[in-house]
Amino acid sequence: MTALDLSSPVAVVGTGTMGQGIAQVALVAGHPVRLYDALPGRAREAADAIGARLDRLVEKDRLTGAARDAARARLLPAETLSELADCALVVEAVLERLDVKQELFRALEGVVDDDCLLATNTSSLSVTAIGGALRVPGRFVGLHFFNPAPLLPLVEVVSGFATDVTYATRAYETARAWGKTPVACADTPGFIVNRIARPFYAEAFAVHEAQGADPATIDAVLRESGGFRMGAFELTDLIGQDVNESVTRSVWESFFQDVRFTPSLAQRRLVESGRLGRKTGQGWYDHRDDAERPEPDTAEQRQPPAYVVAEGDLGPAGDLLALVREAGIPVRDEDEDNGSRLVLPSGGQLVLADGQTSVEFRDVVYFDLALDYRKATRIALSASQDTSPQTLAEATGLFQALGKQVSVIGDVPGMIVARTVARIIDLAHDAVAKGVATEEDIDTAMRLGVNYPLGPFEWSRRLGRSWAYALLDDLHLRDPSGRYAPSLALYRHAHASDKREGNAS
C-alpha cells in the first residue's frame, strides 16, 4: 500500500507544540489539513501560529510565497470532530493519558470511514492498549515524531499487536513522502529511541551517585571523548528533568521493573525539589542569568613518560600507539599473551576500561573509551587509592602529550563512555532478537533521534564482536544486581563465528 494521495485531507487532534509541528509537516507536504482541539478557540490560534511559522520560512527562503499562500488555504481549524469525517488520516497529539486517548479514538471511529488511518503520537504509552479500545484496531498505528517535528527527520512507525501490515505500510510510506525518515518498530516500551537511549542517562547518573565524578566532568567526557553532542546532565536539563524521569519510569514500569531500566534516585530528588532544568532556572546546573557554568575537573600538567612498553593488542585503542610515536615518545613493542596494556616507566600499567576496577590490581590506571582517539580532546583516567602517584602522573602526562585534557575520576568499573556504549549495544542486540526493529532501523533511529555519533551496531562492528559482552560480564561480576548482566542476544553475538555470520555485526 502506497502513501496517502496529496489530495487526501489529514487531521491533527491536539494543538500543542507537537500537534502544530505535525500539522505543519503534513501541510508543507501538500495535504489539506484540519486542526481540532477540545478547547474552544485553540484550533484557530494554532492555525495562526502555523501561518506565522510559514511566514518565517518564506523570510529564510525555505518556502516560496506562492507555496505559503497555497498552504494557508489548505489549513482549516475545525470546531467539531464531525468536520474530520472525510479525512484519510487522523494523528492524535493530546494529553499522555491512556483513558483520554482511548475516549478520543472511540469518538473518532464514530465519525471517520473504516478505512481512515488512525495514529497516535504517544511517546510512552502502549499503542496496543490505545488501539485496543477500537472497533477496527487494525487501522491503528503509532506515528512518533520528534520535537520539533518540522526539523527533526525521524518518525518511529509503531505497529501495535492488532495493527494490520497494510496500514503500517501506508503510515510508513506517508511519513517518507512527507520528507521524513521513517523506521518500523514493534510496540515495545520506549519503542526504539526511548528504550535504547536509557543507559546514556542512567550510567552518567550512576557514576555521579557513586561519587565517581561531578556532572560537568561526566558531561565533558561524554562530549569530548565519546563524541556525543551533549552530555547526559546538560541534555536532561534541556529536556526537563520531570519529562526525562517520567519516560524512564514509564519504560521501567512497562518492563515490570526490569533492573536494567531502574530510574535514578538522584534524578527523582531533583524532580521532587522542583529543579527541572532550564525551564525552572535550576537542574543539575544553575541556569540563572548570574550563574557561572562549572568547569570539568581537569588534571594539572604533568611530564610525559620517557617511553612506554606496548604489550599485546590494544584493540579499540590501537590508534594510541601511532599518536604516542607522533608525539615523540618511544614505544617498545613486546609480544605478551596475558593482556593488552601499556607499561609505564614506573612499572605501572595503563589499560583500556574493561569493567574491572583499579583496586583489584597492584598498580593499574584505566583510561576510557573514545570514539576517535585522534580527534578526542579529553580522556578520563581512573585509579584507586592504592595506585602509585608516579604511575598516575605518567599516565596523565602521556595523554597530555597527545594534546588531550585529562579528567581523573574515581575507581568506577567501566568508567563513563565505555560502560555507556556497552549497555547501548547490549540493549540494541536484545531489541533485534526480540523483533522490535532491524539493525539498520535501530542505527538510523539512534543517529537521527538522539544524534548519537554512531548507531549501536556501527559501534559494535568498530569495537569488535566480543568487546561489549566482555565489559558487561566483568561489570556484572562486580555488581550482580542484574543491571549489567549481558543479554542472551549479546552472548550469542559475542560467541558466534564470523564464518557462520559473515559480516554481521
Catalytic residues, by residue number, are 123, 144, 156, 194
Q: At what angle do helices 417-433 and 456-463 cross, to 10 degrees?
A: 120
What value, to the nearest 5°, has the Cα angle with vertex 211 and ends 344 and 485? Answer: 80
423 in Cβ contact with 397 (< 8 Å): no
Distance CA 34, CA 116 (A): 14
Distance CA 422, CA 498 (A): 20
Length of the chain: 505
Report the phi/psi class of residue 57: left, alpha or beta, with left for phi > 0 and alpha for psi in -120 to 50.
Answer: alpha
306 in Cβ contact with 328 (< 8 Å): no
H helical segments located in 149-308: 165-177, 193-196, 198-209, 215-224, 232-239, 241-254, 265-272
CB atoms within 10 A of CB 455: 24
CB atoms within 10 A of CB 38: 14
Distance CA 451, CA 381 (A): 26
